[in-house]
Amino acid sequence: MTGLLSKVEAGWPAKVLGVVLAVIGVILIVGGVQLAMLGGSWYYLLAGLALAASGGLIFTGRVLGAWVYIATFILTVLWAFSESGLNGWALVPRVIAPLVLLLFVVGLLPSLLPDEGKKRRWQGFAGIAAFVVLLGLAVGITNRSGVQSPVAEAGNTLAFDTAAAAGREWPTYGGGPSAQRYADLNQINADNVKNLKVAWTYRTGNQPDKWGAETTPIKVGDTLYGCTGMNEMYALDPATGKKRWSFDPKVPNEAIPYTAACRGVTYYKVPAAAPGSPCAERIFEGTLDGRVIAVDARNGQPCQGFGTGGQVKITEGMGKIIPSMVAITAAPAIVQGVVVTGHQVQDGQYKWAPSGVIQGYDAITGQLRFAWDMMRPDRTGAPPPGDTYIRGTPNMWTTATGDEQLGYVYLPMGNSAADYLSGQRRPAEKMYSSGLVALDVKTGKPVWVFHTAINDVWDYDQGSQVSLVNFPVNGQMVPAILLPTKQGDFYVLDRRTGKALTEVGQMKAEVGGVEPQERSPVQPFSKYQNVREKDMTEASMWGMSPIDQMICRIQFRKASYTGPYTAPTLDRPFIEYPGYNGGSDWGSVAVDPRRGVVVANYNLTPNYDRLLTRKEADDRGIYAVGDPRNTGKSGAEGAGAQEGAPFAIDVNAGWLLPFTGMLCKQPPYGGIRAFDLKTGKTLWDHAFGDARRNGPFGIPSLLPITIGTPNNGGPAVTAGGLIFIAATTDNQFRAIDIRTGKTLWQATLPAGGQANPMIYEQNGRQYVVIMAGGHHFMKTPEGDYLIAYALPEKK
C-alpha cells in the first residue's frame, strides 16, 4: 500500500500525460452525465471519473494514477466484450484509443517508482507490455469479424432466358432491353482478368462545380455514345476512344439541380428508313434544362424533323419554372416508337413544385403522344391554353424500363413534393407516390401500381431501374420484374399484372410523429430477399474513440427511433434507417440469366433528420431555390425549406459528426451480395469497399482494410463469371468472381467511379468501360475520365 501511495517528482512527460488523461476524463464526465440522464450507458461517466483521477495522480507524480488507469482499462475491455462480443468494428471505439493511452501509461510507470530496482524490473515489463499493446492494436484494427458472411457456391441449373442480354453491343443504359446489365461475353474470365490493362482513355471535359456525371455509355454497331454531366453528347470509336463527333446543347449553369448528371443516352432506329438517310438512326438524351433532344447517330447533327429543330421542351404546360427545379438526368425509354421521359424536381424546396407529369413523344416527329398527369385522369394530352399540369405531384427521376411486346413502360416513381410530410397529399398522389407504375404507351394510362411503402414520408422513392426477367412459377416461366428498393427489399412481380410472385410480409410501424393520423400501422417488406440489418441500438453507435462514440450515443438517445419507418418529428430528431441512399438506388442490380444469379450492391447508412418550424428554418438561413435570400449553398440532398408545407426539413445524410466527418453507425456502410433469382437465397455477402480514402477530419487513412463504404453506381456481369463494379468511395474498380464474391482484380481510378460500367466487344476484343467522374455528394474526387480496360492484344 505504501508503494501505491508513493510520490516522486513528476517530470514533464508525466505532467503532459496527466493533463491529457484529466481532460479526456472531464469530457467523458460531462457527456457521461448527459447520457446517463437520457437513460443510456453509465460507462462513460464512471470511466471519466477514473480517468480524471488517474490524470491528477500522475500529474502529481503518484504511481497510483498509473494503476488506476490500468484497472480502468481492464474493466473497459470486459465491458466492451460484454456489450459487443467479438465484433471487431464494434471494439474499435471502445478499446483502441484506451489501448494507445495504456501504452503511454505503462511506458511511464517506471518513472513514477521511487525504488531503482523496481524501476529496472518495470522497464523490462514495460517493453513486453508495449509489444503486447502494439500487437493488440494491430489485431484490433485488422479484425474484420462481423463484416463478411460465409461464402457459398453460386448458380443453379434452371435455364433462364438470355435473349435480351447484351452481347457484342451494349445498346441501352441497362445493357439490353431487359436492363439486366449482363454481357454474354467470356473473353475476359476469372483466369485472365488479372491481366486487364487500360486500353484507352477519353477526357470528356465540361466538368461543372456540382460534379457527378454518373454516365454509362451505350455501344451500337461500331460506335460508342455517351454524354457529359452538362449534356454534351459524344460518339467515340469503341476500339480506340477517339472522338468522332460531339454535340453541345448549351445547357446553362443555372439549370444544374443538386448534381450535374447525365446517366445515359438512348438509341433508336427509324423503321423502314432508307439506309444512310438523315436521322435514320438517332441518339436521344434528356437535358438538365428540361429538353429531349434527338441527333443523327452518324454525325451528331440535330434531327430537324423531331420537334422544333431536333428538340422538344418538357416544361411546356408546367407553368412557372425556376431554373434547376426541373431536370432530366436519366436516359429516356423508347417503347413502340414512343420516347418516354420523366424528370426530377429538386427535393425539399416547394410543396407546390412543378408537376411530375410523365410524357411520351413520337420518336420520329416529336409530337406529344401522351402526358400522364395523375391528377387529371380524364386527360391524356397537354393542358388547354391557360391551364397547367397539376403541381406538386410525384415525379419519376430515375430510369424507366420498357416491354416492347406488352407496350408497357415501367416507371419507378418518386414521392410527392415535400417528401417528409403527407397531410397535404391528394388521393391520386397517395395512390402513385413511391410506387412502381406500369403505363400503357398506347393510351398513356396506368395499368397497375405496386407499393413498397405506404404513404411514404422517408424519401423512399423508387430509385432503381427495374430488370425484366423470366421467373419460374409452377413449372412455367412468367414474364416478371425484379424490383430493388431503397429499404433493401427485393420483389418479383408479374409484369403483366403487378401481382407479387414472391412472398410479401407486413411489419409493424410506428403511428406517431407530427401526422399520426397519416401513418400506417403496418408497412410491407419482402420475405424473398432483403439486405436489411437489425434495428439500430445505442450500443451500435460508433466513432474513432470513446468520446465521439459517446456523442453519437447521446444523439441516439435524444432522437426518436422505433425501427424502420420511424415517423418524422418536430420536437426532436428522428432516425431513418436505411437512409434515402438505400438499400439500392439508381445503380440498380445486375442479373446473370445463365446462372440465375442476381448481384446487388447496397448501402447500410442512416439519416439523422428533423422537421423544422418556419422560424427555425429562417433562423438557419434555409430558403428555397429561387428565393432571393437563398445563398446557393446546398446541404444534404433533400434538405430544404419545403415552402408551402407546414415545416421545413433538416437532413444529415449518413448521420455524420460535424467535426470529424465520421459516421455514427458502426461499419459496414455498404455491401455487395449475390442471391439465387429463383429462391431468393443468399449465395454470398461481403462488405464492399475499403478504408484507404476514409478517415477522421477528411484525412485519408490509406489503410486497405475492408470497411464497407457508402456506394453509388451499380454492377455489370458477364458470361465469363465476373462482376465489374466501381461505386465505392475508395476509387477502386473491381472484378469479382460471381461464384464466391472474391475480388480477382482491381484498379485505382483517377477519380470516383460513381457510375455503372458497360461491356462490349469490338474487332474480336472485349472491353470494360467505366466513367470516373467522381461525385460531390459522395465526396470523391472529380474527374472527366472515360476509361476502357481490355486484355493485352496478342502480338
Cα–Cα distance between 341 and 597 in angstroms, integer? 30
Cα–Cα distance between 617 and 612 in angstroms, integer? 6
Concatenate the DSSP letters of all residues of 50-108 into one string. HHHHHHHHHHTTBTHHHHHHHHHHHHHHHHHHHHHTT-HHHHIIIIIHHHHHHHHHHHH
Cα–Cα distance between 545 and 32 in angstroms, integer? 14
Neighbouring CB atoms inside 10 A of 589's CB total: 26
Judge contact between 582 and 462, C-beta under 8 A: no
What is the amino acid identity at position 490? F
Q: Say whether the peptide bond before residue 668 is cis (omega within 30 degrees of 0).
A: yes
Sheet with strand 218-220: strands edge to edge: 218-220, 223-227, 233-236, 243-247
For 86-173, strand residue ranges (E) read none
DSSP 3-state of 718: strand
Q: How many helices (H) and strands (E) are present in the chain, helices listed first?
A: 9, 40
C-alpha cell at 136: 493488440
Q: How far is CA 320 from CA 211, 325, 353, 387, 529, in A?
A: 27, 10, 9, 12, 43
Parallel, antiparallel, or unpaired: how do β-strands 716-718 and 182-183 relate?
parallel
Region of 780 on the Ramachandran plot (φ > 0 left; ψ -120 to 50 alpha; else beta): beta
- CA 741, 744, 748 angle in degrees (round to 5)? 110
Cα–Cα distance between 375 and 388 in angstroms, integer? 11
| Residues whose CB falls within 8 Å of the CB of residue 163, separated by 6 or more in sequence, listed in order | none
C-alpha cell at 729: 468511395
Where helices occur in 593-637 by DSSP H, the ranges are: 614-619
Neighbouring CB atoms inside 10 A of 629's CB total: 10
Q: Count Cβ atoms within 10 A of the Cβ of residue 386 and give its class: 0-12 exposed, 13-18 middle, 19 or more buried.
A: exposed
> How is residue 763 annotated by DSSP?
T
Cα–Cα distance between 696 and 623 in angstroms, integer? 30
Chain position carrying cell 469503341: 238
Which helix (H) or strand (E) covers residue 218, if one does? strand 218-220
Judge contact between 341 and 328, C-beta under 8 A: yes
Cα–Cα distance between 748 and 750 in angstroms, integer? 7
Query: Which residue, among 138, 135, 76, 133, has the nearest Cα to 107 in the 3D structure?
Result: 133
Query: Which residue, among 357, 350, 302, 306, has the nearest Cα to 324 in the 3D structure?
Result: 350
Would residue 419 show up in a list of annotated catalytic residues for this protein?
no
> How is residue 432 annotated by DSSP?
H
Cα–Cα distance between 567 and 575 in angstroms, integer? 9
540 phi/psi in degrees, rounded to 5 = -90, 5
Length of the chain: 795
Cα–Cα distance between 617 and 647 in angstroms, integer? 8
Of 459, 585, 592, 737, catalytic: 459
Judge contact between 266 and 254, C-beta under 8 A: no
C-alpha cell at 197: 490493362
14 phi/psi in degrees, rounded to 5 = -65, -40
Neighbouring CB atoms inside 10 A of 531's CB total: 25
Q: Which residues are catalytic?
A: 459
